[in-house]
Copies of this chain bind each other. A is one copy, B any other.
Amino acid sequence: MTKTIAILAGDGIGPEIMAEAVKVLNFLKTSHGLDIALEEGLVGGIAYDVKGHPLPPETLELAKRADAVMLGAVGGVKWEPLDISLRPEKGLLGLRSALNLFANLRPASIYPELADASPLKPEIVSGLDILIVRELTGDIYFGQPRGIRTLENGERQGFNTMVYSESEIERIAHVGFQSAQKRQKKLCSVDKANVLECTEFWREVVIRVGKQYPDVELSHLYVDNAAMQLVRYPKQFDVIVTTNIFGDILSDLASQLTGSIGMLPSASLDANNKGMYEPIHGSAPDIAGKGIANPLATILSVAMMLRFSLNRADLADKIETAVKKVLSDGLRTRDILGSATTTQYKLVNTQEMGAAVLNAL
Contact = CB atoms under 8 A, between A and B. Distances in A.
A156 B201 contact: yes
A197 B84 contact: yes
A119 B257 CA distance: 11
Interface string A194-215: 1111111110000000000000
Contacts of A245: 192
A227 B245 CA distance: 13
Contacts of A251: 224
Nearest to A142: B195
Given A162-B162, A167-B155, A84 B194 contact: yes
A124 B339 CA distance: 13
B253 A227 contact: yes
A197 B257 contact: no
Counting chain B CB atoms within 10 Å of each CB, the highest count among A160, A224, A248 belongs to: A160
Interface stretch (A19-27, A31-39, A143-151, A286-294): A143-151
Contacts of A87: 194
Interface in A168-199: 192-199
Oligomer: number of copies: 2
A163 B149 CA distance: 11
Nearest to A125: B119
8 contacts: A84-B193, A151-B165, A157-B166, A160-B163, A192-B245, A223-B248, A228-B253, A228-B261
A252 B232 contact: no
A236 interface: no
Interface size class, chain A: 35 or more
Contact of A119 (B151, B200, B232): B232
A360 interface: no
A195 B89 contact: yes
A66 interface: no
A161 interface: yes
A158 B249 CA distance: 21
A28 interface: no
B147 A197 contact: yes
A165 B156 contact: yes
Contacts of A166: 155-157
Contact of A256 (B75, B198, B223, B232): B232
A268 interface: no
Contact of A155 (B140, B141, B165, B198): B165
A158 B119 contact: no
A160 B159 contact: no
A120 interface: yes
A312 interface: no
Contact of A231 (B75, B157, B257): B257
B163 A158 contact: yes
Nearest to A145: B161
A190 B231 CA distance: 20
Given A162-B160, A164-B158, A201 B257 contact: no
Contacts of A104: none
B165 A162 contact: no
